[in-house]
Homo-oligomer: A and B are copies of this chain.
Amino acid sequence: MTTPAVHVPRSPVTRKDVARYAGVSTAVVSYVVNGGPKRVAPATEAKVQDAIRVLGYRPNAAARALKLGSSETIGLVIPDNSNPFFSLLAHAVEDAAADRGFALVLTNSDGNVAKERRNIRNLAARQVDGVVLASVLFEPDLADLESAEIPSVLLNHGGESPGFNSVGVDLAAGAKIGVEHLIGHGHTNIALAMGTNVSNEFDGREQGWLQALAGAGLPEGPVVRGDFTREGGYAAGKRLVASASRPTAVFASSDMQAIGILRALHEAGISVPRDMALTSFDGSAEAEFSWPALTTVEQPVRAMAEAAVSALVGETKGSPPEHRLFPTKLRIRQSCGCP
């Protein structure tokens, strides 16, 4: 191969050139390059790939973003993807975004307000097309997104925050079902293991526990508070075991806490559900494989992720901010006392 003596710059190969060479529309070239949003038949895709290779086409995402005023990305802020509930949520948001041609920039706030704010600012600077925020706060500071005119939606949001788009489940109604199920098994001393939020909002799950007890004319059982984690649940479980009026049943505000409580009960030789029954909240995969398997109030993660992304990408454009509330469902397994 000889090297030409003079390098003649040629105009860059465009999507149009690729489309002409491959004998397809420019839209089809886009679908192949972006892996969607529409599917392309394998034979057509092969032709387009061939054209890209022969012509040396290099799609320029940055140039495209500048032209479209869109980076075709959605930012997600979650407290911690090592909590399987949030990793499931992240996966669902990724899929919902990909279906619409958007990639997902994932950031963990590690349950830290300052880090959450930093992540939001960083996403705003990157000009993502929207931000899905599972905030540690009830009314997070979205000024950076607003001044950059980037739409946002609060996901996993317990209540209505005026002026915010939000998606969540009815925490109180869900918790009520979980506690009522324990009441149905004949329990009269039912504890609450409540996760502590950064914000001081009265959590719907605590309301639901109270409502169920009041509805059945039962006294309030002991309340143990701690982190929404396995470790937090383990500490809560040890306190329940040592409690003077030891409950015969516990409602935990998250699966992670319930997993930790189970460990404390096993260590103390307390049989679940015989000596202490347990229901929890979230419906993560880990709950299915604990011993015994957890009866848990399941959140409809896929539907929530779909609603959040749909609100972001303008499918609900022009509508005023709204709080979309999804119903939960009790997944009955063995920790409650069911066979």
Contacts and interface: CB of A to CB of B under 8 A. Distances in A.
A269 to B, nearest CB: 12
B94 A108 contact: yes
Given A61-B127, A291-B262, A285 B82 contact: yes
A61 B125 contact: yes
A122 B148 contact: no
A107 interface: yes
Nearest to A127: B61
A277 B292 CA distance: 19
B230 A288 contact: yes
Nearest to A104: B106
A62 interface: yes
A113 interface: no
Contacts of A148: 58
Contacts of A329: none
Contacts of A118: 35-36
Given A65-B65, A84-B82, A126-B103, A33 B121 contact: yes
Kindly report how many copies of this chain are found in the complex they form together.
2
The size class of the interface chain A forms with chain B is 35 or more
A4 to B, nearest CB: 21
A316 B122 CA distance: 26
A35 B144 CA distance: 12
Given A66-B66, A71-B62, A35 B90 contact: no
A112 to B, nearest CB: 13
A60 B127 contact: yes
A147 B81 contact: no
Contacts of A35: 118-119, 121-122, 125
Contacts of A69: 62
A289 interface: yes
A323 interface: no
A80 interface: yes
A121 B35 CA distance: 7
A43 B69 CA distance: 33
A6 B199 CA distance: 47
Given A61-B126, A104-B105, 15 more contacts: A33-B121, A34-B125, A36-B118, A61-B71, A73-B105, A81-B90, A84-B286, A94-B106, A94-B108, A105-B105, A106-B106, A230-B285, A260-B289, A266-B292, A290-B290
Interface of A: 32-36, 53, 58-63, 65-66, 69, 71-73, 80-82, 84, 87-88, 90-91, 94-95, 98, 103-108, 118-119, 121-123, 125-127, 147-148, 230, 234, 259-260, 262-263, 266, 285-286, 288-293
